[in-house]
Structure 1
Amino acid sequence: MKYTTLAAAALLIIGGSYLSAKATLFDSSDNITVETYSDIFFKLESSPVNIDEIITGASQFANSLCDESIYQEVIGESVNSCKQKFKQSQAQCADFITKNSQAMYTDKVAITLVSEKFINCMTNS
């Protein structure tokens, strides 16, 4: 139940942040630097995305989930415990994902699955 709620909330936040950022994007997507989760998908519109960019975007997304105090309360965590898990597991999870994934991605579904694996690794550590 906890993970179903997490997945549902994550999808809502991902979709909302993607649409929100898409609505305000007026630049060319040729030279997008991935800093947020939604940047991954903007860049994907014009070029492949590498695993490091996916990790960067997914890290930002996971960190933003930690900042949602009501969400953390619903899943039985706190902002501080979430951030502590994030900090302790980020490097190890990034290493695991890098070793067990492709170097480049062109498919939204594959990117979403890799992002979910990375976020799950960080939240289940």
Structure 2
Amino acid sequence: MSLIILVVDDEADVEMLFRQQFRHDLRAGRFTMDFAQSAGSALQRIADAAAASLILILSDINMPGMSGLELLPKAKAARPDVPVIMITAYGDEDTKRKALEGGAEALLTKPIDFALLRSEIDSRVARIG
């Protein structure tokens, strides 16, 4: 079974950045990463993912159309078993409160601390694997 991490961000260069940061894990087949550039596309990918394979959703907050904060309750309703970590360039207390109250497991600020994110992912992969 392939473990999937869904990354939702409207910026095209985010996919390249994540693939580069996690290239060893991706090559080793520890998990795969799927990318969506809009909340609507993310909801479709969440619906399409096999039940056990989607292990984590990472979503930007500020996106055109549906924001990450609007996506959050929809993603949690579709897959209450999958943790969601929100990512934002603006880590103010109000945004953090809204994300956590909406069901987010955590809020990371940009630039992303990939060491912290890697430990989050490693702990999830270890629990499942």
TM-score by length of 1: 0.31
Larger proportion of helix = 1
Could you say which structure has the larger radius of gyration? 1
What is the TM-score when the length of structure 2 is the normalising length?
0.30
